[in-house]
């Protein structure tokens, strides 16, 4: 096994520990939100086992991919046409700062993720240790924009101090589940996430940003020796 393979094995174990731990917070009869990503994958897998054993839940997926995984796991699905508030949502993050602010959207599902992470009574973040940062911004900030006039929107984004890069996939433009583009904004650190989010939302063509501010109720961190459960009342290391 190479060093890289060992590193990937450790990362996967940490994600698995965090993802499975989150499933313990789901109770019979709940309607839940399921995020997108490699850590939430393990939550979905665990929930599938629990549903097969009799757990009664319904879920709203945050992406086409999560919907596919949930159906494969046998998890019953619902929509916001049937519920207007979730009991609990579980999602991952690309970065988490010391104030529990997040950068999300590496997988391109940030708009639907923000719906399930906002319209919920309890929002749980599941991450491995590598996602904890002192300041947001090392990970490029995803911003979803409408295709029409995206070039002008990128110019406006650049005026806020970033280098905007249109996301590509397979030699073509990445298209979100909502039919929009994603612009990855490279900042030299984000000192005021809430202020930046407000500025970005005012730009014509911007649908949503990957900044998730003041939403986290609980964070589960997967570590080599187990998991740590942290609340917003305790600072991150």
Catalytic residues: 113
Q: Mean of the pLDDT values across residues 63-67?
A: 97
Q: What are the tens digits of pLDDT across the range 181-228?
A: 999 999 999 999 999 999 999 999 999 999 999 999 999 999 988 999
Q: Tell me what pLDDT residue 153 has.
A: 98
Note the pTM of the prediction, 2 decimals. Answer: 0.91
Q: What are the tens digits of pLDDT across the range 69-97?
A: 999 999 999 999 999 999 999 999 999 99
> What is the distance between the alpha carbons of residues 179 and 173, in angstroms, rounded to a whole number?
11
Judge residue 159's burial from the number of C-beta atoms within 10 Å of its C-beta, 0-12 exposed, 13-18 middle, 19 or more buried: exposed
Percent of the chain with pLDDT over 90: 90
* Residue 12's pLDDT band (cuts 50, 70, 90): confident
**C-beta atoms surrounding 6 within 10 Å:** 10
């Amino acid at each position: 096994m190479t060093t890289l393979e060992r590193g990937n094995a450790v990362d996967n174990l940490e994600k698995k520990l965090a993802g499975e731990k989150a499933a313990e917070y789901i109770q019979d009869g709940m309607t839940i939100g399921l995020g997108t990503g490699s850590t939430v994958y393990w939550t979905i897998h665990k929930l599938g086992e629990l549903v097969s054993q009799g757990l009664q839940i319904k879920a709203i997926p945050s992406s086409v991919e999560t919907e596919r995984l949930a159906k494969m796991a046998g998890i019953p699905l619902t929509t916001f046409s049937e519920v207007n508030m979730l009991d609990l949502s579980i999602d991952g993050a690309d970065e988490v700062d010391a104030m529990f602010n997040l950068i999300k959207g590496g997988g391109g599902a940030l708009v639907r993720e923000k719906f399930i992470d906002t319209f919920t009574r309890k929002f749980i973040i599941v991450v491995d240790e590598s996602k904890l940062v002192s300041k947001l911004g090392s990970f490029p900030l995803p911003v979803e924009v409408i295709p029409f006039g995206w070039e002008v929107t990128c110019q406006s984004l650049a005026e806020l101090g970033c280098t905007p890069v249109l996301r590509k996939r397979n030699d073509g433009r990445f298209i979100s589940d909502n039919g929009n583009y994603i612009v990855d904004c490279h900042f030299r650190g984000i000192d005021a996430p809430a202020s930046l989010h407000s500025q970005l939302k005012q730009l014509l063509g911007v649908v949503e940003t990957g900044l998730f501010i003041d939403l986290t109720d609980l964070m589960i961190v997967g570590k080599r020796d187990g998991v740590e459960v942290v609340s917003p009342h305790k600072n991150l290391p």
